[in-house]
Amino acid sequence: MRAHAQIDLAAIESNIATIKGKSSSEILAVVKADAYGHGLIPVAQAALKAGATWLGVALVEEAHALRAAGITAPIIAWLTPISEDFDAAIKAKIDLAIPSLAHLVVIEEAGRRIGIKPRVHIEIDTGMTRGGFLDEWSDFLKVVGGADIDVIGAWTHFARADEPHESFTDVQVERFEKALSELRAVGINPPIIHLSNSAASLTKPSAHRDLMRVGIAMYGLSPDATQMGVGESLGLKPAMTIKSKLHLVKRVPAGFAVGYGGTVVTTSDTKIGIVTMGYSDGIPRNTSSAAGVSFKGQRAPILGRVSMDQFVVDLGITSEAVTGDEVTVFGADGYSIDEWAAASGTINYEIVTRIATRVPRIYG
């Protein structure tokens, strides 16, 4: 196997237990985007085993995949264009987010058409300025009381909760409370209130309410390694390790340009390793020499540009690595996911979610 992702389900269960220990709120495990690249069904099952009571996805098709796997726990899908097949979603007992009047109309119509009252969560824009009611709010309040829907929840999404000293989260909470009061004034009293993402779940108990939506922290990673510290400092265990093989090891003299464009030139005689992964596998093309692989605990930084299916690392002239050896791309015995993110000018979320499906996941 030229490359694979090792997924530690016990780490995911441990992370959920750690977060559960901080609150009496229930946990909604966010498993969108193939569980942040870790594998939708195995991770969902592990999360429920660990005590999560809800699952959250972006897309309706993700929710259908969970149902097809026999998962009966409550599921909410929140990125639902009005062209979706809401009839099938409602029949599958998938909760749906309502962020606009148009969504209310088509979801209500679907429910009437099949004779099942849709379970919905009202999404309120309190400052993310992305999804949720904003300009249509007053018009929505006029009609929601008579709508043929079952309002299960009301929710919002924090924009800056991963900046613990930023006061804007408190502003969003205040705006949400005002909107919630207005909902109750027209006879809508949602039984489930959910505001907290991973960052707020870890740092802001006052926002926990009935349900915490736990995403990146469940996978052992910090919502913001710069602002909040790395996952390990928060008591979390990274769940993904990437292993790959050295397609070739060879000696290279000083003064040789490496890779497309010859962007790096060897400064001394060395050994290079050609790693059997590239940007088609999710390795960022722009990753700098601040990341690389490890072999028997020794780090080997990237040399030059990442190619589609391979990249080159500087093993060092004394390395004992040989053609065919296995290396750790990121994991506990080498570079971390956060180091890879920093070296690529991105965030840890992107590093794990972009690992391609042609990289097999192995669970343990």
Q: What is the pLDDT of residues 292-318, one digit of tens each?
A: 999 999 999 999 999 999 999 999 999
pLDDT of residue 181: 98
- Give the model's pLDDT for residue 96: 98
Is 306 inside any structural domain? yes
Same domain, residue pair 188 and 115: yes
What's the confidence (pLDDT) of residue 182?
A: 98
Q: Mean per-residue pLDDT for 148-175? A: 97
Share of the chain above pLDDT 90, in %: 99
pTM for this entry: 0.96
Predicted local distance difference test score (pLDDT) of residue 163: 96
Q: Give the pLDDT score at 339.
A: 98
C-alpha to C-alpha distance for 292 and 294, rounded to whole angstroms: 7
Pair (203, 103) in one structural domain: yes
User: Do 131 and 260 sit in the same domain of this protein?
Assistant: no
Banded model confidence at residue 268, pLDDT cuts 50, 70, 90: very high
Residues 214 and 327 in one domain: no
Digit-coded pLDDT (tens) for 70-82:
999 999 999 999 9
Give pLDDT, residue 279: 98
Of 198, 224, 250, the domain-final residue: 224
Residue type at 179 in one-letter notation: A
CATH of residue 210 = 3.20.20.10
Q: What is the pLDDT of residue 16?
A: 98
Biggest distance spanned by C-alpha atoms of the chain: 77
Summarize pLDDT for 1-35 with one digit per residue, the tens: 999 999 999 999 999 999 999 999 999 999 999 99
CA distances from 17 to 199, 288, 348 (A): 16, 35, 22
Average pLDDT over residues 239-245: 98
Number of compact structural domains in the chain: 2
Instruction: Give the percent of the chain with pLDDT over 70.
Output: 100
Exposure string of 221-253, with b = 16+ CB inside 10 Å and e = fewer, is bbbbbebbebbeebbbbbbbbbbbbbeebeebe
Specify the pLDDT at position 124: 98
Q: In the prediction, which pLDDT does 159 show?
A: 98
Please report where in the chains the tokens 């991770």 appear, as a residue. Answer: 43
What sign does the dihedral 258-4-71-67 (CA atoms) show?
positive
Whole-angstrom distance between the N-terminal and C-terminal Cα of the chain? 17
Phi, psi of 303 (to 5 degrees): -115, 120
Band (pLDDT 50/70/90 cuts) for residue 57 is very high
Q: Assess if residue 219 is contained within a domain.
A: yes
Burial of 79 (0-12, 13-18, 19+ CB in 10 A): middle
Residues identified as active-site: 32, 260
Residue where a domain terminates, one of 166, 189, 224: 224
Residue 45 sits in the same domain as residue 184? yes
User: Are residue 211 and residue 297 in the same domain, yes or no?
Assistant: no
Mean pLDDT of all residues in 143-166: 97
Pair 254, 321 in one domain: yes
The pLDDT, as a whole number, for residue 349 is 98
Check whether residue 25 and residue 109 sit in a common domain: yes
Range of the domain at 119: 9-224
- Quick one: 24 and 157 in the same domain? yes
The stretch 239-243 carries a mean pLDDT of 98
Give the pLDDT band of residue 107 (cuts 50, 70, 90).
very high
SS (H, E, C) the chain: CCEEEEECHHHHHHHHHHHHCCCCCEEEEECHHHHHCCCHHHHHHHHHHCCCCEEEECCHHHHHHHHHCCCCCCEEECCCCCCCCHHHHHHCCEEEEECCHHHHHHHHHHHHHHCCCCEEEEEECCCCCCCCECCCHHHHHHHHHHCCCEEEEEECCCCCCCCCCCCHHHHHHHHHHHHHHHHHHCCCCCCEEECCCHHHHHHCHHHCCCEEEECHHHHCCCCCHHHHCCHHHHCCCCCEEEEEEEEEEEEECCCCEECHHHCEECCCCEEEEEECCCHHHCCCCCCCCCCEEEECCEEEEEECCCCCCCEEEECCCCCCCCCCCEEEEECCCCCCHHHHHHHCCCCHHHHHHCCCCCCCEEEC
Average the pLDDT over 206-218 and give the result: 97
pLDDT tens digits along 220-236: 999 999 999 999 999 99
> What pLDDT does 208 receive?
97
Indicate whether 169 and 258 sit together in one domain.
no
